[in-house]
Amino acid sequence: MARVDSRIITVILLVATLTLVVGLLASCRSGDAGKKSKPKVLGIASPETYEPTIGSFGGRLVLATMGEPKSFNPIVENESSSREYTMIMWEGLTKSNPWTNEVEPNLAISWESDKSGLVWTVKLREGLTWSDGEPFTADDVVFTFQTIYDKRYICAMRDIITGPHGEEWQLERIDDLTIRFTLFDKNAIFPQLLAEGIIPRHKYKPLVDGGQFESALGTDTPPEEFVGTGPFLLKEYEPGRQVVMMRNPRYWRLDKAGQRLPYLDEIIFLLVPNMDVRLLKFQQGETDILDLRGEDFPVFAKEQAKVDYNLYRLGPYLGRTHLLFNQNTGVNPEMNEPFVEPHKLKWFRDKRFRQAVSYAMDRQGMVNNVFNGLGYPQYGPFNEASKLFFNNPGIRRFEYNLERARELLKAMGMEDRDDDGILEDAEGHKVQFNLTTNLENTQRNAVADIVRKDLETLGMRVNFRPMSFNALISKLDSTFDWEACIIGLTGSTEPHWGANVWRSSGRTHEWFPRQKTPSTDWEAEIDDLFARGIKELDREKRRQIYFRWQEIAAEQQPFIYLVAREITGVIRNKFANIFPTNLVVLREWALIHNLEEIYIKVE
Amino acid sequence: MISYIIRRILISICMLLAASILGFGVMKLTPGTYFDRLKLDPRIDQETIEREIGKRGLDKPVFQQYGMWLWRFVRGDLGDSFSFKRPVAGLIRGRVLNTLIMNIAAIIITWLIAIPLGVYAAVRQYKRSDKLLSGLSFVGMSLPGFFLALLMMWVFAGILGILPAGGLKSVDHDEMSLLGKVGDYSRHLVIPTVVLAVGALASLQRITRGKMIEELRQQYVTTARAKGLSESRVIYRHALRNAINPLITIFGYQFATLFSGAALMEIILNYPGMGRLIYEAIIAKDEPLVMAGFMIGAVMLLAGNLLADILLCVVDPRIAYQ
């Protein structure tokens, strides 16, 4: 009897609490009734509309970011959570136009090559100084590249600018403002590579020479040690709480009125790992800017009493998601067994199979279900909606078409002969395989679930087994015992950044990495295209080379591209000079890539 | 007593050694290393990754790696974190105080509320107030901490806007007066403390109640009442003192969690504590940091147990250790 009572009480209590909460909610809602307005939904800017106005000084911008900074060192290997800060503190010799991606002058004013294309003369801007007042000279540039080439430090940039036999670029100081680069081979993206942040020789030379540069500029380094050329410098870092960056009074850029940028005094990065909390903090007014998930968009788009922000839809993000099959013909040396069962390998290496799968992908369904409609179907390495220079608009598109998919499978001999709903191949094997992805990414898991359903509609049996990121990487990179997998790659506007993925000898040539010789003709052709592409200095000819690569990739479908999410975000409408772009690696920067020009409107 | 403590400490050292072998082993059995993350970066060469792995001795046999780690640990060197590239000790020092504040506040609140409530419920056994408290404690016990944290944030920060949405300090904390800073801390501590306390409170209240009911049935209570002692004296002086033993054991376990944060809750509440640091280290396989967090947990658990046993001996003269 007593037990029943306490249970009833519990239920009553629960109901009471819920009623209270709902009541509170309702009272808040009804209290706001009256004049409501809808926030403005804005799109991306363009080079034509980019006209920064003259602003006023002072104020700060607060943003919440996910990751804890691991280091503030711009040279030594760093992850995206650290890159946010280093790219503000140290600028490069060149930078890319935010919308067209054309290389533009920054700390350098010009770069010219001789006829051979191997010797480049780079001229620096006059009168530049470091944040501590020391002049910025050619020595700093030479020093930076020496540090990059220093084998004691791990640096992603070094591997890009090192030849296959360890050749290095030679740098020579001509005078204070002129450097001559001698390359070991022609390099079409040389100007882009100059965008790497330059570090001060006078400040860091002893650290680099002494071998302590890796732990230098870490999260425990005093802020005075950070001497840069960027608009903001580190002021304070408090673990787990925030990173504060302050105005660099010696930043080199001036506005149209000749005033020294940046306008804002401080940028505060709150370290908030949870997305829901970041959302709350924006709603409470604690932060000024927020990168939205698809499902959060309606919350900000609907009518409300007080609208002090603008909402942005900026087009596809560069990162994308794709499905791939293991085409590795190798044999596990320990067990003496093939990495992939021979009959499955036969399917995976047949382009008709991959094409059929691509036809069966309901990409629009993924956009609607996973991204709440805020995404784009993707058919090739570049998203058409971005209208990039290197995007080939004429590639073959495998739009959702189950009929065509079935025809292709039938041509391979795959049919459901015993009427159990599952296809059998010509030799009678049931068409079933394992599909995996990394557990941590919930959106990717949602995509994978739709992929599984789509494949089951075709009559394939798919065992979906997500695993941890580390486990997945070890399968892709060393044990090769996987069948189908969904992963994402950081995208880029420059095709050559994908060279290590597309070249058959590449370590991240995921469907069959590190091949001694290309296992197919089309892989051999792609190898050749990438080798030619990097050496072709004529932009239009280069474009044609990469157009051909996209044609092959679309025909062969080694990567079955699925979807790209849309970048959506909100920023308080008190900020002016917001000219968003979608061509960013860090989504949070889409709205504030021109941080130094952003200012707070004076009422 | 002293010899007992020394013996316990010696046993603890053996236990720690066994625990460290277990922890190290489990960490090594999970696939991959910290540097696998680099393997997905198409810009980084194989040799670069191998060089980094070699530099940290991760290519050596597991036993040798364990030996190297143990040798450093014994000398008080926790090593350098792979991801932060700085000493682990410094990283932990930055977080430990935050975790300590939160846990001490939660323990104090738990004990201040749970024991009187437990006694109250025991005295009014099966009355309506007892049932209400039982109901409440069942709700408290079954509510997962992270859910309660989210719920409280939603109500108090999202809808009512009276408490901050996570964190430990406001953005303009540094410009506040001393009093303002204390107030700012307290406002931020409300939700984490309440969440931690609710979870622990319920079980502590139930145990107090059960043990008190048992003691109140004993004959010495009847004797005390018959002697004409006041009811409060009977309950608090006599019955409660006898009922407290299992609570002290629980205190020992709570003591063990002083330095170890609640990772899930810290992530949701954006609290800069140990839990988040170690959780992220585990995900990234930042081995020195994971081992340091693990060892702190193990040391605190052993110390908490020892402390509880000593306290038991102090509180209850019937218990004596040889």
Q: Look at residue B255 and tell me whether its pLDDT is greater than 50.
A: yes
For all residues of chain B together, what is the average pLDDT?
A: 86
| Residues 6+ positions from A310 with CB-CB distance below 8 Å | A39, A40, A42, A570, A571, A573, A578
CA angle A489, A493, A497 (to 5 degrees): 60
Q: What pLDDT score does A23 carry?
A: 55
Contact B272 A283 (CB under 8 A): no
pLDDT tens digit sequence for A356-370: 999 999 999 999 999
Question: What pLDDT is attached to residue A17?
Answer: 66
The yes-or-no verdict on residue A2 having pLDDT over 60 is no
- Alpha carbons A197 and A199: distance in angstroms, whole number: 7
Helical packing angle, B287-315 and B2-29, nearest 10°: 150
Cβ–Cβ gap A280/B131 under 8 Å? no
From CA A474, how far away is CA B30, in angstroms rounded? 11
Q: Which DSSP string do the residues of A379-415 spell out, in sequence order?
A: -SSS-GGG--TT--TTS----S-HHHHHHHHHHTT-B
CB contact under 8 A, A473 and B138: no
pLDDT of B274 reads 87
Backbone angles phi and psi of A307, in degrees to 5:
-115, 105
Q: Which of B164, B92, B71, B247 is nearest to A286 (CA)?
A: B164
How much is the pLDDT for A30? 45
Residue A145 has pLDDT above 90, yes or no: yes
Note whether B85 contacts A214, CB cutoff 8 Å.
yes
Cis peptide before A262 (omega within 30 of 0): yes
Q: Do A274 and B40 touch (CB under 8 A)?
A: no
Per-residue pLDDT, A25: 56
Residue A159 pLDDT: 80
Is residue A6 very low, low, confident or very high in pLDDT (cuts 50, 70, 90)? low
Beta-strand relationship, A41-42 and A94-96 = unpaired
Whole-number percent of chain A with pLDDT over 90: 63
The chain A residue lying nearest B273, using CA atoms, is A240
Cross-strand bridge partners of residue A569: A291, A312
The pLDDT of residue B29: 87
At A237, the amino acid letter reads Y
Is the pLDDT at A31 greater than 50? The verdict is no
**Closest Cα of chain A to B49: distance in Å?**
8
pLDDT of residue B54 exceeding 90, the answer is no
* pLDDT (mean) for A222-229: 92
Distances (CA, A) of A538 to A161, A188, B50: 20, 8, 37
A243 or B56: which leads in pLDDT = A243
Q: Which of B50-59, B205-214, B240-249 has the highest mean pLDDT?
A: B205-214
Q: A275 versus A95: which is more confidently predicted?
A: A95
Burial degree of A430 (CB within 10 A; 0-12, 13-18, 19+): middle
Please name the member of A5, A70, A501 whose beta carbon is closest to the beta carbon of B131: A5
In this predicted structure, the answer to whether residue A341 has a pLDDT above a threshold of 60 is: yes
Percent of chain B, pLDDT > 70? 98
Report the share of chain B in percent with pLDDT over 90: 11
Give me the pLDDT at residue A77, please.
64
Question: Nearest CB to B131: which of A9, A272, A283?
Answer: A9
Whether the predicted pLDDT of A580 surpasses 90: yes
- In this complex, the residue of A214, A218, A508 whose CB is nearest that of residue B42 is A508
CB contact residues (below 8 A), chain A span 45-64, against chain B:
62
- In this predicted structure, the answer to whether residue A206 has a pLDDT above a threshold of 50 is yes
Flag whether residue A211 sits within 8 Å of chain B, measured between CB atoms. Answer: no
Q: Are A3 and B134 in contact (CB under 8 A)?
A: no
Residue A575 is predicted with a pLDDT of: 96
Strand A119-124 with A178-182, pairing: antiparallel
pLDDT tier at A248, thresholds 50, 70, 90: very high
pLDDT at A109 over 90: yes
pLDDT band, residue A490 (cuts 50/70/90): confident
User: How many residue pairs bridge chain A and chain B with CB atoms within 8 Å of each other?
Assistant: 169
Two structure tokens written together for A419: 């009427």
- pLDDT higher than 50, residue A421: yes
Q: What are B291-314's pLDDT values in tens digits?
A: 999 998 889 889 888 888 888 888
Binary contact (B85, A239; C-beta < 8 A): no
| A501 reaches B (C-beta below 8 A) | yes
Radius of gyration in angstroms for the set of CA atoms belonging to chain A, rounded to a whole number? 27
- State the nearest Cα–Cα gap between B22 and chain A, in angstroms: 21
Among A113-122, A515-524, B9-18, B158-167, which is the least confidently predicted range?
B158-167
Predicted complex ipTM? 0.72
Asked which of A283-287, A409-413, B46-50, B202-206 is least confident by mean pLDDT, the reply is B46-50
Mean pLDDT confidence for A314-328: 92
Across the interface, whether the CB atoms of B42 and A507 are under 8 A apart is answered yes
Per-residue pLDDT of A386-412, as tens digits, reads 888 899 999 999 999 999 999 999 999
Q: A29, A302 in Cβ contact below 8 A?
A: no
Taking 50 as the threshold, does the pLDDT of residue A4 lie above it? no
**What average pLDDT does range A261-284 have in this prediction?**
90
Least confident of A94-108, A152-166, A584-598, B275-289: A152-166
Residue A167 sits at the chain B interface (C-beta within 8 Å) = no
In the predicted structure, residue A327 carries a pLDDT above the cut 60: yes
**A60 or B157: which carries more pLDDT confidence?**
A60
| A49-107 tens-digit pLDDT | 999 999 999 999 999 988 788 889 888 866 666 788 999 999 999 999 999 888 999 99
Q: Calculate mean pLDDT across residues B170-195.
A: 86
pLDDT band at B176 (very low <50, low <70, confident <90, very high): confident
Q: Which of the two residues, B317 and A546, has the higher pLDDT score? A: A546
**Cβ atoms A580, A85 nearer than 8 A:** no
Model confidence at A27: pLDDT above 90: no
Q: Tell me the average pLDDT of chain A.
A: 89
Q: What is the pLDDT of residues B59-111, one digit of tens each?
A: 888 899 999 999 999 998 888 888 888 889 888 887 888 888 888 888 899 89
Q: What is the mean pLDDT of residues A283-309?
A: 88
| Residue where the block lists tokens 């036969």 | A346
